[in-house]
Amino acid sequence: MLVLAQISDLHLDGTARATERAERVLDHLRALPGPLDALLVTGDIADHGEDSEYKEAARLLFTDAPWPVLTCPGNHDVRGPYRTALLGEAAPSDAPVNRAHRVGGTEILMVDSSLPGSDEGQLDAETYAWLEDRLAGLDDGTPVLLSFHHHPVRMHHPRLDTWRLRAPEPLAALVERHPEIVGLIIGHAHTPAATTFAGGP
């Protein structure tokens, strides 16, 4: 059985409060009685997108981590500093940050729903093309988890519902075409919730 943990919206900003909050959560995960197969961090890792915030994130998330750490950006994240500190890219680009990981026989696709300059999200044409390419290359029967920051469904909260994923219809069509996508894992809402989208969890 695949065992994953998800954390989101760390909003690291250099303050002791934000750092200690993240440390407490990570300490709790390390103290769990069984091992984790991976830790998913679903966006808004930094609060202002500054280099120092990502350096702190790299220290907290990756130093002596007993599990793979898989990340995707959120609306507070800035792609260049994110790529440098968290992905180790020497010449980072401003392209969407889309990454594929194989964990215990499951393909986990961490994609970039951030829309620079906006609290709303969007999966752009480049990301959809990347997803189609990755899905086409998988062996039959490989389960897929798709993870990104912005929720594609209404949360029935006036602020959150203005900051969700724009135009979720192409995503719904993608999920319906690809039954190997067994679930979506989302951040952004600052609250635990479970629902369905396009007929799946």
Amino acid 91: pLDDT: 85
Q: Residue 129 domain-assigned?
A: yes
Q: Residue 195 domain-assigned?
A: no
Amino acid 136: pLDDT: 98
Q: Tally Cβ neighbours within 10 Å of residue 133.
A: 10
Q: Residue 147 domain-assigned?
A: yes
Classify residue 122 by its DSSP letter.
-
Check which CATH number belongs to the domain holding 45 and give it. 3.60.21.10
Domain with 108, as residue range(s), is 4-186
Task: Count structural domains, the chain.
Answer: 1
- pLDDT above 90 covers what percent of the chain? 90
Q: Residue 115 domain-assigned?
A: yes
Q: Residue 200 domain-assigned?
A: no
**Which amino acid, residue 18?**
A
Q: Indicate whether 160 pLDDT > 90.
A: no
Q: Residue 192 domain-assigned?
A: no
At residue 183, what are phi and psi to the nearest 5 degrees? 180, 155
Q: Residue 196 domain-assigned?
A: no
pLDDT tens for residues 168-192?
A: 999 999 999 999 999 999 999 888 8
Q: Residue 30 domain-assigned?
A: yes
pLDDT tens for residues 52-66?
A: 999 999 999 999 999
Amino acid 158: pLDDT: 81
| Alpha helix segments (H runs only) across the chain | 16-30, 51-62, 79-87, 125-136, 169-177
